[in-house]
Amino acid sequence: MKIIIIGAGEVGYHIAHRLSLENKDVVVIDTDDEAVRRVSENIDVQAICGSGSSPSILEEAGIKEAEILLAVTDSDETNLIACLMTDLLSSSTKKLARIRNADFDAYHEVFKDSAPRIDTIINPEIEVVRSIEQYMSVPGAGDVGEFENGRVKFVGIRLKPDTPVVGLRLSEISKAIGRPFPLIAAILRGEEMIIPKGDERLLEGDMVYFISETDNLMETLKLFDQQSEPVRRVLIVGGGRIGFRLAERLEEDSVYTKIIEKDENRCSFLAEKLNRAVILHGDGTDQVILEQEGIRDMDVVVTLTFDEQTNVLASLLAKQLGARKTITRINSFRYLPLMATIGIEQVVSPRLSAINSILRHIRRGKVVSALSLKGEQAEVIEAVAMETSEIVGKPLKEISFPKGVLVTVIIRGDRITIPSGDSVIQPGDRVIIFGSRQAVPQIEKILAVKLEYF
């Protein structure tokens, strides 16, 4: 598979790195010499310095042989023109574009049906708002992903010292608590991602990932000593585009919302556009303002400024002053592994949201959705099993899956099953597969060759 990536920023760089590990034929194009040098020195891909909207550069990169074009620069206009030129030069190439400006929201479907005929438009800001809503729905979760149109959730919970299951082996838990325990798909222990067996013991500080039907999630969370309470009051620090989009969604759900914004002109814009949200002109890291605005009464504080240091400080201060939950926007990938260490568990990243969306659309096979876990050490993939598959029609225990792969859910019509070794996948079933980063190419091979004819 040949993939051309326009843009060598954080998103382009990390997608290129990810795909190079999966032995894809990748070409990265950027106008910035330093960005191109960073790619060529650190990733085993071809890097070209030039404009991705230039037809000659696209032809040099091999656009006519490319299966996919990813236009992920910081400029919506550059991404649109790159897709337009690709449509003219190689109409069979699948096009994905990152477009963030809300002015283009109403034209997404137009762009698909008319030139530049973009197959998938990704708006990271919309994806981040969805992630925030998911975090709000699952208290204490460090990771949350939705599958099967929201009917299934993949949740990561950090084990505290007093969590009832700490110290128990997985094979012992159901007997110890007197009821079935959810399937633990993975354990993140420090920087190590573990696909556990029955004799694995859960330890304090582990991030455990499990699958649950959304309807049963609250009962499952109680097993981890996590309680759920409805979100009624939210404070947003930062009234930029993401903060504005989130406030609109919260107003639709009748959630009492306050926004603290430093820019006076932006405050005026927010007050004009929003109906019920309270707009405050000030600094979200000002302890006096937070206390005056009733920080102790807030169910969730979401910090969404462009400055991640401000976001981190505001979140830590809000927790210290009594906010029940915080969600923090982080832009730079290098800071993500540090967040849990300083007490910030729920983190959203527009760039990581963009990468998750892109991965879903470039996987081979009948892939419905995909979720990249912390540190990109693993991936959860939802796919449709076709009748040509070798994994159809026989018990899972008789199938030789690649190391690091686990089938976590089988969905058949309205029935959701957490499989055992005796479970059998039928044609048309949706399967949710967990795989370590090293195993993703093998999963993709299964999806491409065994689950579907090309």
In DSSP notation, 326-358 reads: EEEE---GGGGGGTGGGT---EE-HHHHHHHHH
* 415-431 exposure pattern, b = at least 16 Cβ within 10 A, e = fewer: ebebbeeeeebeeebbb
Residue 254 sits in a domain whose CATH number is 3.40.50.720
Residues 258 and 327 both lie in one domain: yes
Q: Is residue 128 part of a domain?
A: no
Residue 17: domain span: 2-122
Indicate if 329 and 393 belong to the same structural domain.
no
- Measured between alpha carbons, how far is 111 from 119 in angstroms, rounded to an integer? 8
Whether the predicted pLDDT of 46 surpasses 80? yes
Confidence band of 67 (pLDDT split at 50, 70, 90): very high
What are 233's strand-pairing partners?
Answer: 256
Confidence band for 450, pLDDT divided at 50, 70 and 90: very low
Q: What 3-state class would DSSP assign to 284?
A: coil
* Domain end residue (candidates: 167, 192, 223): 223
Phi-psi region of 143 (alpha: psi -120 to 50; beta: other; left: phi over 0): beta
> What share of the chain in percent tops pLDDT 90?
55
Average pLDDT score over residue span 274-303:
95
How sure is the predictor about 163, in pLDDT bands with cuts at 50, 70 and 90? Answer: confident
Same domain, 99 and 211: no
255 touches 234 (CB < 8 A) = yes
Indicate whether 333 and 263 sit together in one domain: yes
The predicted structure's pLDDT at residue 454: 36
For residue 171, the domain's CATH number is 3.30.70.1450
In a domain, 348, yes or no: no
Is 245 found in the same domain as 203? Answer: no
Element (H, E) at 20: helix 10-21
Q: Is 131 within the bounds of a domain?
A: no
End residue of a domain, out of 194, 223, 252? 223
* Mean pLDDT confidence for 316-330: 94
Quick check: 342 pLDDT over 70? Answer: yes
Average pLDDT of the residues in 9-26: 89
Domain count, the chain: 4
Higher pLDDT, residue 29 or 178: 29
What pLDDT is stored for residue 358 in this prediction? 86
In whole angstroms, give the CA distance from residue 326 to residue 312: 10
Among 170, 193, 223, residue at a domain's last position: 223
* Residue with the larger pLDDT of the pair 408 and 357: 408
pLDDT at position 191: 77
pLDDT-based confidence at residue 228 (cuts at 50, 70, 90): low
Domain match, 325 and 357 both:
no
Q: Which residue from 114, 104, 64, 107 is spatially nearest to 86, judged by alpha carbons?
A: 64
Number of CB atoms found within 10 A of residue 331's CB = 15
Task: Tell me, yes or no, whether 203 and 240 share the same domain.
Answer: no
Strands across the sheet containing 207-213: 141-147, 152-158, 207-213, 184-189, 192-194
Question: Does residue 130 form part of some domain?
Answer: no
pLDDT digits (tens, 9 = 90+) for 373-402: 765 678 888 888 877 777 788 899 998 888
Return the closest-CA partner of residue 255 out of 235, 284, 282: 235
Q: Which amino acid is at 377?
A: Q
Q: Is 8 helix (H, G, I), strand (E, B) or coil?
A: coil
Q: Which residues of 204-241 are buried (b: 16+ CB within 10 A; e: fewer)?
A: eebbbbbbbbbeebeebbebbebeeeebebbbbbbbbb
Q: In this predicted structure, what is the pLDDT of residue 453?
A: 39
Report pLDDT for 447: 63
Residue 443 lies in a domain: yes
Q: Is residue 407 part of a domain?
A: yes
The interaxial angle of helices 124-137 and 241-252, nearest 10 deg, is 50
Higher-confidence position of 241 and 454: 241
pTM for the predicted model, two decimal places: 0.84
In a domain, 129, yes or no: no
Structure tokens that stand for 102 in this block: 């809300």
- Same-domain pairing of 160 and 84: no
Please determine, for residue 356, whether its predicted confidence score (pLDDT) is greater than 90. no
Q: How far is CA 173 from CA 52, 200, 209, 383, in A?
A: 54, 11, 15, 30
* 22 domain residue, yes or no: yes
Is the domain of 239 the same as that of 322? yes
**Residues 419 and 377 reside in one and the same domain:** yes
Q: Which helix (H) or strand (E) holds 364?
A: none
Q: 79 and 145: one domain?
A: no
Same domain, 337 and 370: no
